[in-house]
Chain A
């Protein structure tokens, strides 16, 4: 199996990652599911109510409200993004929601930034934590990823940071690139 990193290493050193949670549900899909459960749930509850057994109805209503809430919360969370931009001199990390722009922004000097993964020594099953940090300031990113995905990402970040720090010829090679705000 070819390591996908080999492909990636040739990519630009001025690069940007957009991390997003898995989001396989569309708004239409959510509605379709909601309608499908409502039909069954409200159908039976109304049948009961029509026969005088109305106490089923409020339970059905409460429950469907919970289902609707869960779907809505899920759809809203799908818009969450973390954007990590490796720029010439800095690493910019932004947290935000699609359509609302970045809500929080951290900038670290690229040359001094480290990346690593922290594991919980006592809790085998606790998720790992992917950190970018520089002199006492740490930023955790990629919570919406799985452990394996964080492993891949930390290696890629490591490459980008190391190359940037160590090899001046690379910097020269890329210096003619137009940089957003460099």
Chain B
């Protein structure tokens, strides 16, 4: 009665393996290709790295409590600053955003999963290996890398036996970022539900698409740069070795050609998150959606032509100093457009201040402070004074912590009711917010002053006049760190399903596919009278007509 001529087609979704039960226990997590599982894994990994990187920062802050050497030797101190940055950037922020992308991008565009689920699995599981390698360098002869996350030669070439492990770990992180980026690209480009044109996409998808573009464009540069370090050290090449005719300053150019787009890789998805949250709690649509997209694209473009603002002091020709000074200042324009749009969105909205909104508003305020200090740093002549001081440290921590990290926290608060079906505890959310917002400023605001007064970064000792500022910073850092446990426990409670049940549309002002359990006609199923032969199938696949009215 039933005929089943079986011809297996590897790129089709197989239909005959429904007997395999789901994997159990740990194997389920190792083998999973489900975007939600992987999103969860990415986020858990990210917060683990935030914890480890946070502990390192506490070592740094404890040492800086007083001038002179208190707890660790200078060599170990420098290993801490270097690894802190690498862990936070490549282990905390980037996987955090990839986790959010995994969870939300398919839901936002109306796809059933990411486009390349298996690649997605590999991309994640590379990360634990990469960071085990990286952290294991601490226990090797010569210790971990201590030349700063920027890995400038010739200093970094003095790293002990951990050096090749550092390079290999960077390669692995790069591969993981690339797989993540490629997956986002093909998902966003190819798996949008009919009717969802590019300019109807949620901004989070847009900012991630552009981030992925930046990643794809710049990762080979990083991979090439660190490979050349390796060959310089072990294979007698002299790409960056002056004695062999190489140029160490060229490493800086190459590194920052990757590095500056990288800092936008760390912040563009945050812009997307904030552009999602603010309209929800202002109960208005986002002001200037199109201009947001164009601003993001111009920031991405400009980020390729500003790299040397990190190297104003290496001795560039005047024309170079001027070019990079003005191109850097130009970035303030699209950034300003964004800040303006967020404020205009809130203007006369009926606002409420739940935890995600509080973090989003703090983002707008505090990220802007980081932008302003960035503008100061962009002024080449004054950067000669600021460069390599705590002023730079204050700048990038304002853009990275109340910027990137707050946006990840905001996003988790915002979506966790959707992910777990359980509402987090709002009271503790607010406590967490206020402690975080206050103590992040206690930590980093004084660093502006100590930096302007000349306190150098990456040095465990300092002149006595900076004691007060440093003590304040250290207190801030410890309280901020401890306050994050409130968040962790609040989220664990949701994951353990302890708490109030969340409704389908958790936030009354929220829009987007992810909040509706849509019951429109099956989007890309197509029903019509019989008598269509296989040859005609091509004609029916675009049955998109009329879908768009189900949304928006």
- Smallest CB–CB gap between B416 and chain A, Å? 13
Q: Which of chain A's residues has its CB closest to B21's CB? A: A120
Task: Name A38-53 residues within 8 Å CB distance of B.
Answer: 40-41, 44-45, 48, 51-53
For A167, the chain B residues whose CB sits under 8 A away are: none
Q: How far apart are A166's CB and chain B's nearest CB, in angstroms?
A: 21
Overall SS of chain A's interface: mixed
C-alpha gap A105/B15 in the complex (Å): 11
- The answer to whether residues A146 and B5 also contact, given A18-B526, A99-B538 and a CB cut-off of 8 A, is no
- Chain B interface size, under 10 / 10 to 19 / 20 to 34 / 35 or more: 35 or more
CB-CB under 8 A from B5, the residues of chain A are: 104-105
Q: Is B190 an interface residue (CB 8 A)?
A: yes
Pair B2/A106 contact, Cβ less than 8 Å: yes
Contact: B529 with A152, CB < 8 Å?
Answer: no
Chain B residue nearest to A12 in the complex (CB): B529
| B-facing residues in A66-98 (Cβ within 8 Å) | 66-67, 70-71, 73-83, 85, 87, 94-98
The answer to the question of B517 belonging to the interface, with a C-beta cut-off of 8 Å to chain A, is: yes
Q: Is the CB of B28 within 8 A of A123?
A: yes
In the complex, which residue of chain B has the Cβ closest to the Cβ of A143? Answer: B13
Q: Which residues of B contact A83 (CB under 8 A)?
A: 537
Q: Which residues of B contact A66 (CB under 8 A)?
A: 178-179, 182
Q: CA separation between A73 and B537, bound complex, in Å?
A: 20
Contacts of B112 in A (CB 8 A): 127, 143-147
Chain A hits for B250, CB < 8 A: 51, 53
Complex Cα gap A28–B535 (Å) = 23
Instruction: Tell me the nearest residue of chain A to B419, going by C-beta.
Output: A125
Residues of A within 8 Å of B186, CB to CB, are 25, 70-71, 73-74
A85 to B528, CA, bound (A): 10
A48 in contact with B189 given A18-B526, A55-B224, A99-B538 (CB within 8 Å): no
Interface membership of B432, Cβ < 8 A: no
Bound Cα distance A37, B13 (Å): 29
Tell me if B1 is interfacial: C-beta within 8 Å of chain A.
yes
A16–B530 CB distance below 8 A: yes
Q: Mark A126-141, 1 if CB is under 8 A from B, else 0.
A: 1101010010011111
Among the listed B216, B221, B542, which residue makes an inter-chain contact with A67, where contact means beta carbons less than 8 Å apart? B216
Partner of A125, one of B34, B179, B228: B34
Q: Select from chain B the residue with minimum beta-carbon distance to A150.
A: B522
| B519 proximity list for chain A (CB < 8 A) | 3-4, 148, 151-152
Contact code string B249-285 (vs A, CB < 8 Å = 1, else 0): 0100010010000000000000000000000000000
The answer to whether A77 and B11 touch (CB under 8 A), given A56-B223, A99-B538, is yes
A40 and B217 contacting across the interface, CB-CB below 8 Å: yes
Contact A120/B22 with A105-B3, A105-B5, A145-B112 known, Cβ cut-off 8 Å: yes
Question: B110 in the interface, Cβ–Cβ < 8 Å?
Answer: yes
Indicate whether A8 reaches chain B with its CB closer than 8 angstroms: yes
Total of A-B residue pairs, C-beta within 8 Å: 269
**In the assembled complex, how far is the CB of residue B9 from the closest CB belonging to chain A, in whole angstroms?**
5
Known contacts A11-B527, A134-B2; is A148 also within 8 Å of B196 by CB?
Answer: no
Pair A23/B225 contact, Cβ less than 8 Å: no
Contact present for A140 and B18 (CB under 8 Å): yes
B8 contact set on A, CB distance < 8 A: 103-104
| Residues on A with beta carbons closer than 8 Å to the beta carbon of B7 | 103-104
CB within 8 Å for A146 and B189 given contacts A19-B525, A70-B182:
no
Q: Tell me the bound Cα distance from A18 to B540 in angstroms.
A: 8
Please give the residue numbers on chain A whose beta carbons come within 8 Å of chain B beta carbons, in ascending order: 3-4, 8, 11-12, 14-25, 29-30, 33, 36-37, 40-41, 44-45, 48, 51-53, 55-57, 59-60, 62-63, 66-67, 70-71, 73-83, 85, 87, 94-99, 101-109, 120, 122-123, 125-127, 129, 131, 134, 137-149, 151-153, 156, 178-180
Contacts from B to A (Cβ < 8 Å):
1-9, 11-13, 15-16, 18, 22, 24, 28, 34, 36-37, 40, 109-113, 115-116, 119, 178-179, 182-183, 185-186, 189-194, 196, 213, 216-221, 223-225, 227-228, 231, 239, 250, 254, 257, 304, 517-532, 534-535, 537-538, 540-543
Can you pick out 15 interface pairs between chain A and chain B where the beta carbons lie within 8 Å of each other? A16-B529, A18-B525, A18-B541, A22-B193, A24-B194, A40-B213, A55-B231, A56-B254, A57-B224, A63-B216, A78-B190, A80-B11, A104-B15, A104-B16, A129-B18
